[in-house]
Amino acid sequence: MQTLFIILILFLISIFSVLLYFKTKVNRLDLLNSGECPTCKQKRKTFFDKNTNTTFTSEVISSRVLRNHGCSGVIEVEYSCKNCGLKEVHSINSSSNCGV
Ligand SMILES: [Zn+2]
C-alpha cells in the first residue's frame, strides 16, 4: 500500500514537471516574440529622433526560420539574442494555407 502511494506521488510530480516545462517554454516564446530576451531581460529599444520625426527600433532578438514543414503547419524558428548570445529553437504551429 505504501509503495503504491509513493508511485502515485512520483507520477503526479512527473506530470507537474512536464506541465511546468511546457508553461515556461511557452512563456519564453511569448517573450521572444515580443522582442524580449528571457535570459538577460533585454528588450527592444526605441529611439525617437526629433529632427526627422522618426522612431528607430533596435531589435535585441532576431529570428530566423530553420525549417518550414509546409503543409504540416510546423515552422522551426531559431531565436538569437544579440546581447547575451542566447540561441533557442522553437517549433511554431502555423495555420497552413495549403489548399486541400
Ligand atoms: Zn539575451
**pLDDT-based confidence at residue 87 (cuts at 50, 70, 90):** very high
Q: Kindly give the distance from the C-alpha atom of residue 15 to the centroid of ligand 1, in angstroms, as a whole number.
A: 30
Domain ranges of the chain: 2-93
Q: What is the pLDDT of residues 24-56, one digit of tens each?
A: 999 999 999 999 999 999 898 888 989 999 988
Nine-digit cell string for 51: 529632427
**Mean predicted confidence (pLDDT) in 90-95:** 80
For the residues 65-87, what does the mean pLDDT come to?
88
Whole-number Å distance, alpha carbon 95 to ligand 1 midpoint, is 29
CB 61 within 8 A of CB 35: yes
Q: What percent of the chain has pLDDT over 70?
A: 94
pTM above the 0.75 mark? Answer: no
Ligand 1 midpoint to CA 44 (Å): 11
Handedness of CA 22, 28, 29, 34 (dihedral sign): positive
- CB neighbour list of residue 48: distance below 8 Å, 6 or more residues apart: 54, 55, 56
